[in-house]
Structure 1
Amino acid sequence: MTQTPDGLPAAARSRVERQAASGVRSSLFSAPAAAAARSAGLLPVGEVFGGLVVSLGWTGSGCSWWSMTGPTVGPSSALNRPTWSSPVTTSGGSTYVGFAPYVKAFESAWYGAVRRMLAEARALGAHGVVGATVQRTRLDGSTWEFTALGTAVRSDDPLLVPYPKNRGDVWSTNLTVEDTASAILSGYSPGELLLGISISTKHEDYELRTQRTSWVNGEVTGMTALVQAARAEALHRLETRATATAGAHLVVTDLHLGEFETPCGEEKDLHAEATVIGATLIPVPRFSRRAELSAVTTVIPLSDLRPRA
């Protein structure tokens, strides 16, 4: 892919140049959103976009449970192995076993789209991006497109949103414009958009298979453990990224869970994929509009206090 010296794809650089030449400042704001942005000192400078296409998938035939042990609960048909309960494993993130490579590739593509969006905002001279959305779309087989879209804004009131400390820094948030404005007016500065993802795995052992095919209403304990493990690790990965900024507040905005299966001989492995998206807010109490208003001590009456005849 052709890139300009500032790291922008050629197509993105062309969009920036066309906007600079036209003087038009487009946005994705509705009329109420534009009013909310103005109340918080935010001025739109243009729509910004980032995208990339990746090959994303996994290989192998499952059976990741084979070398693990656990308590026995009933007979298993797998090569007449002793009865046992399969453990729940997760993708982790520090190894290249199981689905860890897939998780790493997913994160790289997701953050890659966000970085390209922020690079375009930086080229427009923006301080941040509000209302950002990141989407994944399957194009063909294992080929996926990751896209990030938002509205780049500048702050014209450093009492509300402090200008970035380092030139070129651009904050990002997927909060709505109205929510962003409310946070700013309450003394918070937007931070960054974050992702947490995890895939958990459990072999369909005798107990799980029996519970899934039972005609009696009841909990499928193996599936409960599977989805809980995926959600817990995805949240943990999200929180770990958020705590990289000291004092940041994390707002979880979206949690998605999906389930799929992979063959394991005549049996199968079950998997749960959890993705969690959030945004950080940085407390900036001394820039709060509330503190500014509390300093007002003079009250001017609106009625005429002169003596009447």
Structure 2
Amino acid sequence: MADWDGHGLPPVAAERARRAAAGGAWTSLLSAPAAAGLQVAGFEPVGEVMGSMVQQIGWTGYQGCGIYGGVYGGAYGGWATPTITSSAPTRFAGFRPYVDALYRGYGTAMSRMAQEAATIGADGVVGVGLVMSQLDGGAREFTALGTGVRARGSVRPSRIFSTHLPGQDVAKLVAAGWMPTDLVYGISVAIRHDDWQTRQQAAWGAGNTEVTGYTELISHTRADARHRLAGHVRESGADGAIVSSMDLHAWEIEPGENHRDHVAEAAVFGTALVRFHTDTAAPTRTLTYLPLR
């Protein structure tokens, strides 16, 4: 077998998709309510699909004192210093290479999942789960896993759609005139130097007081992640999005002795939607129930 050059599907994944496309028994991650909901919406499952990528993240970017953010529109040290996000238009944007690596990892996994779905004749993927797992060292695996579905009618999507929503929720959206298009996300990492004011507010004995520097760090990071999510929605040509998760965690680094900065990472994931009809009354199509008598 020839060495894989990293383009397209990995050989093992391509062979799995080829066997699925050839027919026979299919697998599904759908629950019974999800499968029934998809039937109501005019879709049928065609197989489980997955995309995966392992990426070594050996360079996360400039992590050194957040005080240098003062070069970007803030005070240089002293009473208060600015929060610098990975989207900031400055070379001191901190963890931008790390955030770019996360985007590349998730994007590649979803692209390969969509390729598998297209290979087996699916029109979309529902119930998609996105997972990032830590492997040895700095290696991380990005995985996208869902169930490929095909439209039974003559009207077919122009490209593969993907959504984190389960089948019954997709059915409700379609009945209401909405169609999921893409999984969308926004990720941001920000750094802030623990300046004099922050150290005083966070010191032992300060009492029950707000640490305004930490509030600013968390607020800026979440806001930047949401801004990037909105940009992803616009790029997809969608009208809006349903958010599925909004995660945040923070940690501290010590660039030098008695010198501490705090870092926050925020990630927002969701499904972009487009409107395809605006009727006030939704279709009344339902499943048929038979009495067990």
Paired position in structure 1 for 2:250: 259
Written as runs of structure 1 = structure 2, the 5 A alignment for 1:120-131 is 120-131=116-127
Letter in 2 for 1:91: S
Identity of aligned residues (%): 38
Counting only pairs closer than 5 Å after superposition, residues 99-110 of structure 1 correspond to structure 2 as 99-110=95-106
* SS of the residue 1:65 aligns to: helix
Residue 281 of structure 1 corresponds to 273
Indicate conservation of the 8 Å contact 2:21/2:121, yes or no: no
Alpha-carbon offset, residue 10 of structure 1? 0.7
Aligned to 1:243, what secondary structure does the other structure show? helix
2:135 counterpart SS class: strand
TM-fit CA distance, 1:249: 1.8
2:49 is aligned with 1:48: yes
Q: Map 1:1-309 onto structure 2 (within 5 A).
A: 2=4, 7-21=8-22, 23-56=24-57, 57-60=59-62, 62-66=64-68, 68=70, 70=74, 83-92=78-87, 97-157=93-153, 162-165=155-158, 169-215=159-205, 216-266=207-257, 267-285=259-277, 290=281
Give the AA of the match of 1:145: E
| CA distances 1:42-85 after superposition (whole Å, capped 9, x unpaired) | 100000000011012425551132362756xxxxxxxxx97321
- Describe the shift of the 1:289–1:115 C-alpha distance in structure 2 as closer, same or farther (beyond 3 A): farther
| Residue type at the aligned position of 1:197 | I
Please give the per-residue CA displacement for 1:111-165, whole angstroms capped at 9, x wherever unaligned.
110000000000011000001011100002211110000000001135xxx4123
Paired letter, 1:198? S
Note if contact 2:69-2:84 (Cα within 8 Å) is conserved in structure 1. no
Q: Offset of 1:8 from its aligned partner?
A: 1.9
**Counterpart-to-counterpart distance in 2, 1:24 and 1:275:** 37
Distance 1:59 1:41 in 2: 47
Asked if structure 1 preserves the Cα contact closer than 8 Å seen for 2:187 and 2:225, the reply is yes
Check conservation: 2:65, 2:255, Cα contact below 8 A: yes
Give SS of 2:186's match: strand
Residue equivalent to 1:78: none
Residue 208 of structure 1: CA displacement?
1.2
Q: Is the 8 A contact 1:4 1:10 kept in 2?
A: no
Equivalent residue letter for 2:273: L
Q: Which residue matches 2:290? A: none
Supply the AA of the counterpart residue of 2:200.
Answer: T
* Distance verdict in 2 for CA 1:262–1:24, change over 3 Å: same
- Kept in 2, the 8 Å contact 1:33–1:177? The answer is yes
The answer to whether the 8 Å contact 2:188/2:222 transfers is yes
Structure 1 segments, 4+ long, off by >3 Å, are: 93-97, 288-294
Please, what is the CA RMSD of the aligned residues? Answer: 2.5
2:67 match: secondary structure: coil
Give unpaired runs (5+ residues) of structure 1.
Answer: 72-80, 295-309
Conservation of the 8 A alpha-carbon contact between 1:187 and 1:284: yes
SS in 1 for 2:184: strand
- CA deviation vs aligned residue, 1:190-214 (integer Å, no higher than 9, x gap): 1100110001111011221222234
Query: How big is the shift at 1:22?
Result: 5.4
**Counterpart contact for 2:77–2:195, Cα < 8 Å:** no
Write the distance in 1 (CA, Å) between the matches of 2:79 and 2:284: 66
CA distance in 1, matches of 2:131, 2:77: 45
Instruction: Name stretches of at least 5 consecutive residues in structure 2 with no aligned partner.
Output: 286-293
Amino acid at match of 1:119: Q
Supply the distance in 2 between the matched residues of 1:61 and 1:232 (Cα, whole angstroms): 21
How many pairs were matched up?
277
2:53 counterpart letter in structure 1? L
1:116 alignment partner, SS class = helix
Instruction: Answer whether contact 1:187 1:289 (CA < 8 A) is retained.
Output: no
User: Structure 1: how far apart are the matches of 2:171 and 2:161?
Assistant: 14
CA positional deviation for 1:290: 4.1
- Secondary structure of the residue that 1:104 maps to in structure 2? helix
Could you tell me whether the CA contact under 8 Å between 2:63 and 2:94 is conserved in 1? Answer: no
